Amino acid sequence: MRVSSPSHDGSAAPDLRLQQLEQWLAGLFGARDFVVTTASADASFRRYFRVSRQGQTWIAMDAPPGKEDMGPYIRVSAMLVDVGVNAPKVLHRDDANGFLLNTDLGSRTYLADLDAGADAERLYRDAIDALVAIQARAGQHAAQLPPYDDALLRREMGLFPEWFCGKHLGLQLSEAELVGIARTFDTLVAEVLQQPRVFVHRDYHSRNLMVTDGVSHDKGGHGANPGILDFQDAVLGPVTYDLVSLLRDSYVQWPIERIHAWIKYFRDTAQRSGVDVGANPAQFQRWFDLMGLQRQLKVLGIFARLYHRDGKSGYLKDLPRTLSYVRQVVKNYSDLEFLATFIEQRIVPAMAKL
């Protein structure tokens, strides 16, 4: 059964990709006794549809060939299932046309449940337990992933001066400011690259974690919660990256004291599982803070680019929260003094004018 879906320009033109997907599904099921509804779309060309048939549901991915590569998604899905966490399993694939059919982990995101008053302590401990399980068990798998290297770290941070400072805030940066930003990037890269290397999801946060109590396809590994989505960009990288994505989330914010308690829970759990978390809590906190700063500078640039280049305004409301994390960190480290001054004297006033 076809469900109409608007084209990317907002018109009601026929969705040829959706029609093609439905033809593929009809071949799999041997009938057209199913319903297809939009599940979600992300910042790429990928789209997700929920397929319902005879009381069961699945998630179909539409990844147009030439625009999206399904290979990383398929490989990382298999890795996560193999280490025993709750990730979607790929059931059927059509590589030539860019379609996948996956198990369905439901529609309850962490963010939605937290907004509705869910028990944050339980949800975050579940998320940390799953994260440690991945880091502890995925060693051989992680070694096959692309490295989170110097070039990638710098390319991500480069979005901050280009898209956030320049395009979004309209700032003309002086040569001295550009040099100061570049030196800050040097500091962050050096700090990040000395951390122990593990499997890194890269977007381990409240919009990509699902509340899946009792909805698990795991056979004897980690518990059902959380369901883990949007993992196709996984890399081999710093031990703190996914933790900081979770705890300094651009979509939900927690008191510093609570974040520190969750950091301690992660360190204790990781150490018991054999994950290298550094020599002492102070070193780990610095790793966490500077890793978070690298990520948050990237995110500021990405959110600005999504608006100015791609016409996606929904992320603008999350810029102040993301910037607040930057301001928290830079004031605590003497080697970030330039960035602290730049943020307060140039960024904060420019944001106030928007």
Residue 215 pLDDT greater than 80, yes or no: no
Residues of each domain in the chain carrying CATH 3.90.1200.10: 110-352
Residue 175 pLDDT greater than 60, yes or no: yes
Task: Tell me how far apart the alpha carbons of residues 246 and 30 are, in angstroms, rounded to a whole number.
Answer: 42
Nearest to 153 by CA among 238, 68, 75: 238
Structure tokens at 39: 């599940």
Residue 45, pLDDT score: 81
- Other beta carbons within 10 angstroms of residue 264's beta carbon come to 12
198 φ/ψ angles, rounded to the nearest 5 degrees: -140, 175
By the 8 A CB rule, do 131 and 242 touch?
Answer: yes
The residues near 154 (Cβ < 8 Å, ≥ 6 apart) are: 185, 189
Residue 199 pLDDT greater than 50, yes or no: yes
Residue 36, pLDDT score: 97
Average pLDDT over residues 189-207: 98
Residue 41, pLDDT score: 66
Residue 9, pLDDT score: 47
Cα dihedral value 93, 99, 104, 109, nearest 10 = 140
Task: Tell me how far apart the alpha carbons of residues 346 and 344 are, in angstroms, rounded to a whole number.
Answer: 6
Residue 12, pLDDT score: 55
Place 289 in a pLDDT band, splitting at 50, 70 and 90: very high
- Other beta carbons within 10 angstroms of residue 255's beta carbon come to 8
Residue 138 pLDDT greater than 90, yes or no: yes
Q: 235-238 and 99-103 as β-strands: parallel, antiparallel, unpaired?
A: unpaired
Percentage of residues of the chain with pLDDT beyond 90: 90
Residue 224, pLDDT score: 83
Q: How far is CA 296 from CA 104, 160, 264, 300, 346, in A?
A: 30, 9, 22, 6, 17
The DSSP secondary-structure symbol of 334 reads: G
Residue 120 pLDDT greater than 90, yes or no: yes
Residue 14, pLDDT score: 78
- pLDDT tens, 95-112? 999 999 999 999 999 999
The CA-based angle 160-161-165, given to 5 degrees, is: 90
- Per CATH, the homologous superfamily of domain 110-352 is Aminoglycoside phosphotransferase (APH), C-terminal lobe (3.90.1200.10)
Residue 216 pLDDT greater than 70, yes or no: no
Residue 6 pLDDT greater than 80, yes or no: no
- pLDDT tens, 20-78? 999 999 999 999 999 999 998 666 688 999 999 999 999 999 999 999 999 999 999 99
Average pLDDT over residues 285-301: 99
Q: How far is CA 295 from CA 84, 257, 292, in A?
A: 27, 21, 5
Place 318 in a pLDDT band, splitting at 50, 70 and 90: very high
Average pLDDT over residues 312-332: 97
Reported CATH class of domain 16-103: alpha beta
Average pLDDT over residues 171-185: 98
Residue 200, pLDDT score: 98
Residue 221, pLDDT score: 42
Residue 213, pLDDT score: 76
Residues of each domain in the chain carrying CATH 3.30.200.20: 16-103
Q: Which residue has the tokens 């979607």?
A: 88
Place 254 in a pLDDT band, splitting at 50, 70 and 90: very high
Place 2 in a pLDDT band, splitting at 50, 70 and 90: very low
Mean pLDDT of the chain: 93
Residue 13, pLDDT score: 66
Length of the chain, please?
354
